[in-house]
Amino acid sequence: MKTDTQCVHSGGYFEKTTGGINTPIFTSSAYDYLNRKEAPYPRYFNTVNQDVVVKKICALEKAEDGVLFSSGMAAMSTAILALAGAGDHVILMDELYGGTHAFVTDTFERLGIRYSFAKTNVDAITAAITDRTRVIVIESPTNPLLGIIDIRKVADLARARGIATIIDNTFATPINQKPIELGIDIVVHSGTKYMGGHSDLCCGVAVSSQPHVKKILHLARHLGGSLNAGDCYLLERSLKTLALRVKQQTANAGLLAEFLAANPVVRKVFYPGLKDAFGHAVARKQMTGFGAMLAFELDAEQVRTDAFLHHLDIVRPAVSLGGVETTICAPAVTSHAKMSPEERQRVGVTDALLRLSVGIEHIDDLIADFDQALKLSTA
Ligand SMILES: *Cc1c(COP(=O)(O)O)cnc(C)c1O
């Protein structure tokens, strides 16, 4: 099946009682244990509602199996900790999602896990490898600067040394990028974003091959970050339109990036789909679409960024991303607020930077909204 068809038909549950075509929401937390190997239990990650969603995401990511979590951070933290313990060394890209960055710097020392942050390139990651390195964690495109790393090269160099690889594929989605086909071991998502897609869910997932999933599941049952049946159902429903949504969002983002790049009051646009963007050639090789996230800086001498945000009518200033509605935020005071100003400076998250999550609205309305807000806030 093609990806669009998998979104609709993979996973799923045949409901014998009524013949209804949707998966019922099974609310039980207690199940009969006689005559079965293992009774379902929500925190065991083995209920029908959890299972059907995992199957659909595995089909999309071309993974053998997976674990569905109650947040993206539950998925990421459990996946890393399943593979690295005291004495081990983990390499992470320094442009990672702010929450992942904070998790590592806040807790790894206490857990005895050593770590290095590397720049967004294969040489920097190679240089950081030690004989204790167990895991390499990457993200591409990165949050918020849309940096691109050559995923296959990282996967190859890690595999040759017996190091496991984890990628945060939240920004790309399996519609635009399938990292397991590029050799990555574990794909993690904040399902809160594109997979949920309607800004009303918090969930996450980690998918991989059986041996890795076994380790993640083992730890996940202790840590307990499972997803409830009602939210599993919402996620399953959302995934049916994932391809439709992401294709429209990606097309809109490409057009908005061009509009912004051509505007004299915009100082810089970060979008891997732009021909002169850093990483464009690699992105073209490993992605089927360039995604629907972009970032830009307004020229502070010509436009007041604060005023611009207030003058937007359709585009909503909001934290989080990936919804059907276009949202905008300043990473320095939202997703990356926990980083020190020095660290933000180092990774290029300036106070003027705005991150845009492009929705499914008509492109003409989005461009008109940007146009009027820019004009009203020109100094
Ligand atoms: C939001 C996000 C996360 C964390 O997900 P939660 O669902 O908020 O826990 C991880 N990675 C990326 C890229 C994100 O955007």
Nearest CA owner, ligand 1 atom 8: 72
Task: Give the relative orientation of helices 72-83 and 210-223 as an angle to the nearest 10 degrees.
Answer: 110
Instruction: Say what the pLDDT of residue 123 is.
Output: 98
State whether the beta carbon of 192 lies less than 6 angstroms from ligand 1: yes
Looking at per-residue pLDDT, the higher value among 13 and 347 belongs to 13
d(CA 66, CA 88): 24
DSSP 35: T
State whether the beta carbon of 71 lies less than 6 angstroms from ligand 1: yes
State whether the beta carbon of 78 lies less than 6 angstroms from ligand 1: no
Ordered structural domains, the chain, with CATH:
3-239 (3.40.640.10), 242-376 (3.90.1150.10)
Nearest CA owner, ligand 1 atom 12: 97
What is the chain's percent helix, strand, coil content, to nearest 5? 40, 15, 40
Question: Which atom of ligand 1 is nearest to 203's Cα?
Answer: 7
Q: Answer yes or no: are the C-beta atoms of 78 and 43 closer than 8 Å.
A: no
For a substitution probing ligand 1, which of 101, 120, 190, 202 has the most ligand atoms within 8 Å of its CB?
A: 190
For a substitution probing ligand 1, which of 143, 169, 238 has the most ligand atoms within 8 Å of its CB?
A: 143
Q: Compute CA distances 276 → 181, 259, 261, 273, whole Å.
A: 27, 15, 11, 9
The band of 103, judged by pLDDT with boundaries at 50, 70 and 90, is very high
Q: Is pLDDT at 10 greater than 90 in this prediction?
A: yes
Cα of 363 vs centre of ligand 1, distance in Å, is: 26
The band of 344, judged by pLDDT with boundaries at 50, 70 and 90, is confident
Q: Is pLDDT at 182 greater than 90 in this prediction?
A: yes
Mean model confidence pLDDT for the chain: 95
**Residues facing 190 on adjacent strands:** 204
Instruction: Say what the pLDDT of residue 109 is.
Output: 98
Instruction: Say what the pLDDT of residue 12 is.
Output: 85
State whether the beta carbon of 97 lies less than 6 angstroms from ligand 1: yes
Lowest-confidence range among 92-96, 148-152, 213-217, 271-275? 92-96
Element of type H or E holding 66: strand 65-69
For a substitution probing ligand 1, which of 192, 227, 355 has the most ligand atoms within 8 Å of its CB?
A: 192
Q: pLDDT above 70 covers what percent of the chain?
A: 100
Looking at per-residue pLDDT, the higher value among 62 and 350 belongs to 62
pTM of the model: 0.96
Instruction: Say what the pLDDT of residue 183 is.
Output: 98
Q: What is the SS3 assignment for 337?
A: coil
Q: Is pLDDT at 289 greater than 90 in this prediction?
A: yes
